[in-house]
Structure 1
Amino acid sequence: MKAWQFEGTGRPIALNEIPDPQPGPGEVVIDMRAAGLCHSDVMYMQIGERAMPFLPMTQGHENAGVISAIGEGVTGWEVGDAVGVCPSGVRPPAGMFTPGGFAGKMVAHSADLARVPEGMDWALAALATDAGMTSYHAIIKVGGAREGMKVGVIGYGGLGQVGARAAVLKGAEVHVAETKESVWDLARAAGVSGVVADAAEWAGQSFDLVVDYAGYDTTQRALDAVRRGGTVVQVGLGQPTFTINANTILGKTITGSLGGTVEDIEEVYELLRRGEIQPAYEVIGFEEIGEGLGRLARHEVTGRLVARIGD
Structure 2
Amino acid sequence: MHAWLCENPVGVDALNWKELPTPTPQAGEVLIEIKAASLNFPDLLIVQNKYQMKPPLPFVPGSEYAGVVAAAGDGVTHLKVGDSVACLSGTGGFGTHTLAKAALCMPLPAGFSHVDAAAFIMIYATSWHALIDRAQLKAGETVLVLGAAGGVGTAAIQIAKAAGARVIAAASTDEKCALCRQIGADETLNYSQDAVPNAFRERIKALTDGKGPDVIYDPVGGDFAEPAFRSIAWRGRYLVVGFASGPIPNLPLNLPLLKGASLVGVFWGDFARREPKANAAMMAELAQWYGQGKIKPVIDRTMPMAELKAAYAHMGSRGVMGKLVMTNP
Query: Could you tell me the TM-score, scaled by structure 1's length?
Result: 0.89
Aligned to 2:9: 8
Q: Does 1:214 align with 2:207?
A: no
Structure 1 residues 29, 79: CA separation in 2 closer, same or farther (over 3 Å shift)? same
Residue 51 of structure 1 and its aligned partner are, at CA, apart by 4.3
CA contact (8 A) 1:128 1:269 kept: no
Residue 231 of structure 1 and its aligned partner are, at CA, apart by 0.7
Q: Which runs of 5+ in 2 are unaligned?
A: 192-199, 273-278
| 1:132-211 aligned within 5 A | 132-156=124-148, 157-198=150-191, 200=201, 201-202=203-204, 205-211=211-217
Residue 65 of structure 1 and its aligned partner are, at CA, apart by 1.0
Aligned to 1:64: 66
CA contact (8 A) 1:152 1:176 kept: yes
CA contact (8 A) 2:42 2:51 kept: no
Query: Which has the larger displacement, 157-166 or 22-31?
Result: 22-31
Alpha-carbon deviations, 1:201-260, whole Å to 9, x = none?
A: 325633211111223442223322222321111112211421222211223211221235
Structure 1 residues 68, 291: CA separation in 2 closer, same or farther (over 3 Å shift)? same
CA distance in 2, matches of 1:306, 1:50: 23
Q: Which runs of 5+ in 1 are unaligned?
A: 88-92
Aligned to 1:90: none
Q: Does 1:111 align with 2:95?
A: no
Q: Does 1:267 align with 2:285?
A: yes
Query: How large is the RMSD of aligned CA atoms in angstroms?
Result: 2.1
Alpha-carbon deviations, 1:21-80, whole Å to 9, x = none?
A: 222221111111110001221122333597413122201111111111111212222111
**Paired residue for 1:233, among 222, 239, 244?**
239
| 1:90-129 aligned within 5 A | 93-95=89-91, 100-129=92-121
CA contact (8 A) 1:5 1:56 kept: yes
Question: 1:256 corresponds to which letter in structure 2?
Answer: G
**Paired residue for 1:254, among 263, 277, 282?**
263
Structure 1 residues 80, 300: CA separation in 2 closer, same or farther (over 3 Å shift)? same
CA distance in 1, matches of 2:50, 2:59: 9
Residue 273 of structure 1 and its aligned partner are, at CA, apart by 2.5
Query: Could you tell me the TM-score, scaled by structure 2's length?
Result: 0.84
SS in 2 for 1:174: strand
Q: What count of residue pairs does the alignment treat as equivalent?
A: 300
Query: Which has the larger displacement, 243-252 or 33-42?
Result: 243-252
CA distance in 1, matches of 2:280, 2:97: 20
CA contact (8 A) 2:12 2:309 kept: no
Aligned to 1:37: 39
Residue 298 of structure 1 and its aligned partner are, at CA, apart by 1.8
Question: 2:118 corresponds to which letter in structure 1?
Answer: A
Structure 1 residues 119, 22: CA separation in 2 closer, same or farther (over 3 Å shift)? same
SS in 1 for 2:109: coil
Structure 1 residues 268, 279: CA separation in 2 closer, same or farther (over 3 Å shift)? same
CA contact (8 A) 1:8 1:49 kept: no
Aligned to 2:314: 295
SS in 2 for 1:272: helix
SS in 2 for 1:159: helix
Question: 1:258 corresponds to which letter in structure 2?
Answer: F
CA distance in 2, matches of 1:145, 1:101: 33
Aligned to 1:224: 230
Query: Which has the larger displacement, 140-149 or 61-70?
Result: 140-149
Larger-Rg structure: 2
Query: Which has the larger displacement, 291-300 or 4-13?
Result: 4-13
CA distance in 2, matches of 1:10, 1:112: 27
CA contact (8 A) 2:146 2:220 kept: yes
CA contact (8 A) 1:212 1:222 kept: no
CA distance in 2, matches of 1:137, 1:21: 34
SS in 1 for 2:181: helix
